[in-house]
Amino acid sequence: MLDQIKVDQFETLVGTSLRLSGNGPEYADLELVQARTLANPSPRAEAPFLLTLRENGASRVIPQGIFRLQHPTLGDLDLFIVPIGPDGKGMCYEITFN
């Protein structure tokens, strides 16, 4: 299913909140800051793309790993998330689809 996800499914959600959860009861609401196509080659039928998310006001760092992202139309997606550091508004993370 992940190979059928397209960047345009996320572009309309930029500025909205998505829920990220792990194995326990803890969760974080992350704002989708950016959804952009990448220029590098990929075996995907669709162009690879990158999502940038931010936990507004947060100073904590969610560790790199696989987390469940709850998407309003795609449902629950288990994705690999990587912290990329703060941007002045909160802690930022990336998810790459390649």
How many Å from the N-terminal Cα to the C-terminal Cα in the chain? 13
Cα–Cα distances in angstroms (integers) from residue 53 to residues 20, 42, 46, in the given order: 10, 22, 21
For the record, the structure tokens of 20 come out as: 């990220």
Segment 40-95, tens digit of pLDDT: 666 656 778 999 999 999 888 999 999 999 887 778 999 999 999 999 999 999 99
The beta strands (E) that lie in the chain are given as 17-21, 27-37, 49-56, 65-71, 75-86, 90-97
Whether the model clears a pTM of 0.75, i.e. scores above it, the answer is yes
